[in-house]
Amino acid sequence: MKRQEIIKGMEKYLKVKYGVKIEEAKEYEIFNALSLTLLEGIVDDWNKTTDEYSKHKKAYYFSAEYLMGRALGNNLISLGLYDEVKDILEQYNININKIEEIEEDAGLGNGGLGRLAACFMDSAATLDMPLTGYGIRYSNGLFNQKFVDGFQMEEADNWLKYGDPWSVRKDRDTQIVEFSDMKVKAVPYDTPIIGYGTKNINTLRLWKCEAINEFDFNEFNDQKYDKAVKLKNRADDISRVLYPNDSNQEGKLLRLRQQYFLVSASLKDILKKHKEKNGEITKEFSSLHAVQLNDTHPTLAIPEFIRILVDEENVKFEDALEIAKKVFAYTNHTILAEALEKWDVKLIKKLFPRIHAIIVEIDKSLAKELKSKGYTDISDFKIIANRQVRMANLAIYVSSAVNGVAQLHTDILKDTELNNWYKLYPTKFQNKTNGITPRRWLRLCNQELSALITELLGSEAWVKDLSLLEGLKKFENDEKVLKRFMDIKHKKKEQLADYIKENHGIELNPDSLFDIQIKRLHEYKRQLLNAFYILDLYYRVKENPSMDIPPVTFIFGAKAFPGYRRAKAIVKFINEIGRMVNNDASINGKIKVVFVENYRVSYGEKLFPAADLSKQISTAGKEASGTGNMKFMLNGTPTFGTLDGANVEIAQASGEDNNFIFGLKVEEIEALKGKYSTEEFYSKNKDLKKVIDSLIDGTFDDGGSGDFQDLYNSLMKEGDQYFLLADFESFKATEDQVFAAYKDEKKWAQKCFANVCNSGVFSSDRTILQYCEEIWNIKKTPIK
């Protein structure tokens, strides 16, 4: 788009929507008008892309969440208009950063699974690959996090308060989804996914649930006001909140409704378009369509697909099952048994009895196949067992491919967790190490480093081919380049410190070491181990004020699920440590502890570039992959971590000497099982004993909740299943290595620079190409 087109578009939308001129407009009005102007400019290419894709085989990504972040800045980068728009706004004395900040993060995701889905959408569009995303348009997302006296409190995430200019409602494509007790409308909202340096515009289609009849006039007229809108409220609930609390049956039923709503609407949409172009459904359907199930949440797609084919398209069950086996593929995101979904049969029968009947038939088909292959004990394979439906078993059986998301993760699935399935279907199992998009996670969020890389490499080609970063290796001993590189790191630290002061009133020292752990809060991710280390360091500094360590700022960012008591207790414990440490003048500012509120994508864009150290400390064998570790690496941050998930491949790519590896390995943990004694570690290590006892000796106040006692019990009475005590001394020794290394400025700069140089393999462009070639069999389809 040309400069004058952008200005005219903004003037038009400000006039039509708000009745104001640019000079009078508020920041959110500028944001909406600018976004609509850009959207208008890409609609023709978006339509052309959709038309071109319809002529070829397509893939569809089914995901319960898409952690998209803000759209405006990323889209400007992809369109090559960021600097142009920045200049336009400056002529009206408008700061582009303020316009970006006014945009709410889309409330469509929570953790790594959702952020991966967002990166894949970006990569597919950039590579001209015909991939469409399907999800739910949650009106209130997960939640906004607030701290009150150190406790996490949750508030509704009203991310749509200023509207959503980047989505287009498509009433013409509305689908009807049927439960046993109600029918609802699934109304699609399409969001353009703008490829970088291409005219291709892919689509993320999100479904909003609405009642077929939203308002009963007669009930209202009879003054039964709640009853008059009952159906509307029940429908709204289905797409209201991501992962509603399912601690009771009503919550479980709502989650199950959500999952079926997503897959039923999406499949009906795909099948309708197929029939309009190709006529009836035949065995050739799989040569035109591939569906990727992002974890077990969308697994009901399998029986729903078969139901539609059998009940509505007159396809024989056996044929429908064979088609499904070629259409679907399944990504496993977890090794944790509790995260492999199982649904009570009674709940499935209550909401959709026909789906239950289909699952029974699929289970019979599996049993028949196993018996024909000589299996006598099939209990571990069964889809329905102990009055539950095992969604992972269903997904594995009716899929063309099953993939893990890091090499170690895939190896564990094959060797132990899913070994029975691997022996049955060895060719189904693949590895697809996760990746991140360099557009958002470097080109947008670290424009200073991006400019330096472009200058050193002589072009911006690296933004679409991250392997080109290897070309930076010739500068790894260049002191001038290393100084410029570290000056940029310091500038990003200053920017983060300014943001935290402005938003939280907390002052940080940008000359301190920024030691950062940001991710979803879960016991296996071991934020508690990090907290124990910090508390121990504080005690040591108190005893020895002249202790030779650099000033260090420990930064946490994480949300705990509302119903996850222990995760919320860890939040409180870290905040209590922060309160003690930060208010103690005797340590002379050597240590600071900050837990940032409401960690999200846009906050991550400030945190990743500013980090000196990336904490990735999950118990070995528990983290499937991680993608935060890759974002830190791309921005020049060494990893402090266990050999878990993608940490293994990061250490291989950039060298263990450029990272800090600690703790038990997977095989050592396996050897410890059954012999692990927490009492032994506790009684022999006075420093460890002191920090653990702080949970129950009155050092900290949990507000009478008993939460700290429960944390203590998880370690000392329930066996410390995540091996915090066993890894504590290794953690301490390795952090000492960090402090020593940090003092040598040149060597530290070289470690950081080496991580940038070797991060190319972790591009989501590489990952998505592997899916396209090795699972979906789809081809690049650029529009003319």
Q: What is the mean pLDDT of the chain?
A: 96
Tokens coding 202: 């892919």
Question: What is the DSSP-derived secondary structure letter of residue 700?
Answer: S
Question: How far apart are alpha carbons 1 and 17 in whole angstroms?
Answer: 22
Q: How many residues does the chain have?
A: 784
**pTM of this prediction?**
0.97
Residue 453 to residues 409, 633, 664, 753, Cα–Cα distance (Å):
32, 15, 36, 11
What CATH number does the domain located at 472-665+723-761 have? Answer: 3.40.50.2000
Contact between 580 and 538 (Cβ < 8 Å) = yes
Own/partner pairs, 344-349, CB within 8 angstroms, 24+ separation: 344/252, 344/387, 344/388, 344/389, 345/384, 345/387, 345/388, 345/389, 346/387, 347/249, 347/252, 347/253, 347/256, 348/256, 348/389
Find the helix or strand (DSSP H, E) in which 188 lies.
Answer: strand 183-194
Task: Find, among 178, 241, 169, 245, the residue nearest to 205 by Cα.
Answer: 169
Residue ranges matching CATH 3.40.50.2000 in the chain:
54-69+105-434+768-776, 472-665+723-761
Contact between 182 and 197 (Cβ < 8 Å) = no
Contact between 341 and 348 (Cβ < 8 Å) = no
Tokens coding 249: 């049956």
pLDDT per position as a tens digit, 253-294? 999 999 999 999 999 999 999 999 999 999 999 999 999 999
Question: How far apart are alpha carbons 413 and 404 in whole angstroms?
Answer: 7
Residue 639 to residues 40, 56, 475, 636, 778, Cα–Cα distance (Å):
43, 42, 21, 10, 35
Find the helix or strand (DSSP H, E) in which 36 lies.
Answer: helix 27-53
Q: How many Cα atoms are found within 13 Å in the side-chain-facing hemisphere of 327?
A: 29
Question: How far apart are alpha carbons 433 and 435 in whole angstroms?
Answer: 7
Active site residue ranges: 333, 519-520, 525, 627, 631
Task: Find, among 399, 421, 428, 267, the residue nearest to 327 by Cα.
Answer: 399
Find the helix or strand (DSSP H, E) in which 728 lies.
Answer: helix 724-743
Helices (H), 247-402: 249-278, 301-307, 313, 317-327, 345-351, 353-372, 391-397
pLDDT per position as a tens digit, 31-78? 999 999 999 999 999 999 999 999 999 999 999 999 999 999 999 999
pLDDT at 229: 82
Question: How far apart are alpha carbons 693 and 698 in whole angstroms?
Answer: 9
Task: Find, among 508, 499, 586, 486, the residue nearest to 541 by Cα.
Answer: 586
Nearest 5°: CA angle at 25, between 19 and 28?
A: 105
Longest dimension (CA), the chain: 81
Question: How far apart are alpha carbons 224 and 767 in whole angstroms?
Answer: 55
What CATH number does the domain located at 54-69+105-434+768-776 have? Answer: 3.40.50.2000
State how far Cα 15 lies from the chain centre: 38
Question: How far apart are alpha carbons 567 and 562 in whole angstroms?
Answer: 9
Nearest 5°: CA angle at 191, between 189 and 194?
A: 165
Backbone φ and ψ for 292, nearest 5 degrees, come out as -100, 125
Number of Cβ within 10 Å of residue 213's Cβ equals: 11
Intervals of the chain under pLDDT 70? none
